[in-house]
Chains A and B, each alone.
Chain A
């Protein structure tokens, strides 16, 4: 078991290392950030001064080594734009992103799971068709469009909710709905297919043959087993929503990590983009590691075969 865990940890470190090198290279391939930090009437001397100030006049390998040395110490560099440590900025925005992520996850689960179950139980019925239609709409309506429509309806026409920004619970409703809507659709589809698979399995047939009522079969036997992949997906979705809800956060001026990333990309704020991507990568790798270890604990065959 220990060997298994060590191997998985090593894989995770290699993954993070590859991620760090990739993001380091990609942000630099987009061009010189100084071109955006000073423009129009700037002189070459101004550009050189800025390059030197941020260490951008050094070679890429030197910059990378410095970046990694700092990363090992928990420092992800200092943002060009905000002049604050990236980790500080990240953790300032994290509560907002977690709030939005959890609210959107809740919405997606509350819509997606019951609709998916009903759709599977009443397969090929009107209920199923409605649910499939909702799933199709959820997957095909762009989040930014839905966000703008929500603003128009609930803020401008009905005046029930504030248009944007953060504050009390009313600020969370629309961005969480716009963000959760897409994930609700994917959740619905997965719940439906998972439930259909479970409902067709031998042990469900046996339960029915034993004369158990449908409600008990669905709630006690099918539901629990069908939800394992659904909640795994919900966990991954949550990480994505916390770290990459870029468009929704921009539309609703929500001060989260997605918007931070957007501003970093837009301004070529290399340390910020690197930091946010690495933190997101770290989160995903950590969650996968925990899941792998838990699987191995539950099922010993996994640690023998992998």
Chain B
């Protein structure tokens, strides 16, 4: 009788032990730092600005997200194929049907790198203290912030705020939803924070040499497993040096391999090229509505489009790794429409020019490409010459170019063409607002199509998503059908991955479609693990 009793008790204990182990395994998130191994060195292609380590001062460019996706985290973010709503520090969120509030629930047990818990108060502070790009929009539209409980926070708006989530969650547009520790931030001050940032991201800062290097280590308390122990980002402005670093094994990932080095890098043993689709290049005709401007005639603008050899451009400039596009707006933003690639037909272009009254073509005073993509401007000029449009290249320093864009029409007298290169994440409306709308930041008074601007105002006022989508599509179609802007191609931001990084294909390292950078960093792995 004793034996069965013993067996029953043993079985009972065994079950208890198994249950306890199971509970422990499921309740405790995988300790990221403890499991992490190895090191990845990223050779960054420009200088480092310390402000990129502080999401509170996001400068609105598509650059800082490379850094604060490692050190910091947002409530929601763009990651993988999610444009803005990938749950991060918030395990879930809801936007009220009337778009007048949004409620976020934080994950359980999340902490900053210094061990302090991430609280709704930190979220509130980060939002209210945010002074980066589009801060005025958030401030203007927000009525109050309610801390509902120790994990829940609600943003209440004065009016329906349909773009809230997309602005809030797109790391390369704005960052009021990227959480900084209130206590530490106040204690060290904004400038101190930029030197020694503490965040809730997958990596914590170990060493920061301003402008030179950022050394990070996997953060044990992150809510997702972090596989690589050390992550080093080092600034190497010279492309040939970056390639040499990759070749010699000093770097594991390098950004921005220029066209002339692509074929060399592609042949390196164990190296994988990562041609991430990036900005869109398109042509603009400043003051095309002027009676004396040849581009006033739609047939002339169409002839320009027909004269351009997009595939040759793509091949020559990015080794064929970009994409000849139909739309001037990237397809990785909300409401962007798909559009077929524009054809090339030199004969038809000449015929259209004849019909428009330019049988011998005409002169364009200047063709100005985005600095420093001068060779693209030269190619456009050569292709247009085939149909009789004779242009001259105008090169500018980058800052001057933007300054003149913002100066409006007076800076672009006569007959001119501008070859823009733009990447804006989030929504199609940011593209329109910046580069087409009359009075827009970059478009100023160069393009003013009243009926489309009217529709855009209607879009901005509308709180009906279906109506907004319809208007967005109508406006984009009108721009393309009328050749107000002529899309050229989508640039490839060509990066390279070294042999130590574990990847079946380059998308394993660059899975986020809204950026050219290699985040989420916690998913990177090295082969010897």
Chain A residues engaging chain B, CB cutoff 8 angstroms? 30-33, 35-47, 49-50, 78, 81-84, 89, 92, 148, 151-152, 155-156, 159, 162-165, 250-253, 255, 259-260, 262-263, 266-268
Contact = CB atoms under 8 A, between A and B. Distances in A.
27 contacts: A30-B399, A35-B399, A36-B399, A38-B61, A40-B61, A40-B442, A42-B59, A42-B133, A42-B441, A43-B136, A49-B131, A49-B135, A81-B49, A82-B194, A82-B211, A83-B50, A89-B210, A92-B209, A148-B241, A151-B244, A159-B248, A164-B244, A250-B237, A251-B238, A255-B211, A262-B47, A262-B237
A43 B440 CA distance: 8
Contact of B433 (A31, A41, A50): A41
A165 B240 CA distance: 14
Given A31-B403, A40-B62, 8 more contacts: A40-B423, A43-B134, A81-B51, A84-B50, A84-B210, A156-B244, A164-B245, A255-B211
Nearest to A88: B210
Contact of A32 (B238, B403, B434, B441): B403
Contact of A38 (B47, B59, B191): B59
A165 B234 CA distance: 9
B274 interface: no
Interface string B163-178: 0000000000100000
A163 B244 contact: yes
A143 to B, nearest CB: 12
Interface string B216-229: 00000000000000
A84 B208 CA distance: 13
A164 B191 CA distance: 29
B230 to A, nearest CB: 16
Interface string B415-443: 00000001110100010011000000110
Contact of A40 (B47, B210, B398, B422): B422
Interface residues of B, number: 52
A256 to B, nearest CB: 10
Contacts of B235: 253
Interface of B: 46-47, 49-51, 59-62, 131, 133-136, 173, 190-191, 194-195, 209-213, 234-238, 240-241, 244-245, 247-248, 250, 397-400, 402-403, 406, 422-424, 426, 430, 433-434, 441-442
A42 B235 CA distance: 26
B462 to A, nearest CB: 20
Contacts of A250: 237-238
B402 A46 contact: no
Contacts of A41: 60, 133-134, 173, 424, 426, 430, 433-434, 441
B241 A82 contact: no
B307 to A, nearest CB: 28
Nearest to A85: B191
A46 B136 contact: yes
